[in-house]
Chain A
Amino acid sequence: QSALTQPASVSGSPGQSITIACTGTSSDVGSYKFVSWYQQHPGKAPKLMIYEVSRRPSGISNRFSGSKSGNTASLTISGLQTEDEADYYCCAYAGKSTGVFGGGTKVTVL
């Protein structure tokens, strides 16, 4: 159960698009459709943004999208807004009823 690999930080200007990569292995990201993404503002509980690789929960803006290729999943935020500044975490099912998170990515809106 090694943590998934995410870049420590990603930044962009308002209106731009950014993509956060989440790299796992053939035992987790590469094997299942169960990859999710979470947004966390300081002092707050995480919020589900994407589940099952690319599905958005009700109420989540379509500016957020997810995809997967091989052992790497990605979260794209388009039309970047100041309120998008937060920490983002990926999570994947790793088999045998276990899961694993990524180390987290700090998104900064310049």
Chain B
Amino acid sequence: EMELVESGGGLVQPGRSLRLSCEASGFKFNDYAMHWVRQGPGKGLEWVSGLNWNSASVGYADSVKGRFTISRDNAKNSLYLHLSSLRVDDTAFYYCAKDMGASGFGFDTWGRGTLVTVSS
């Protein structure tokens, strides 16, 4: 069974940094593009960032470009998101999502999410 487990969320002050991790199992991780999607409290889904299997193609939402960095380690079946210069409006559940293929933006597997709260 395909599974994604996020970790690394927590309470952080504005301007600080945090690194989220997503551990994958049950599928051949290095065959698929991967993404981060977030959802603020009571709000809708927002695509944050994604990268293809070998990290050659990377994209970011305008709202996080220059502040967040996505990466992956195929040897460890893991996806990461480094969040820096955090703002209060970055507060959200952050979901790791598996693409069905090569960045077709069909996310067929999701983790349970990890909560990032940015507050002083």
Q: Which residues on A are within 8 Å of B, measured CB to CB?
A: 1, 3, 34, 36, 38, 40, 45-48, 51-52, 57, 87, 89, 91-93, 96-104
Contact = CB atoms under 8 A, between A and B. Distances in A.
Contact of B47 (A51, A91, A103): A91
Nearest to A57: B108
Contact of A98 (B47, B107, B110, B113): B47
B106 A97 contact: no
B interface, how many residues as a size bin? 20 to 34
B110 A51 contact: no
A99 B35 contact: yes
A102 B46 CA distance: 8
B44 A36 contact: no
22 contacts: A1-B62, A34-B105, A36-B107, A38-B45, A46-B107, A51-B104, A52-B106, A57-B108, A91-B47, A91-B105, A91-B107, A93-B104, A96-B59, A97-B51, A97-B57, A97-B58, A97-B59, A98-B47, A98-B59, A99-B59, A100-B47, A101-B45
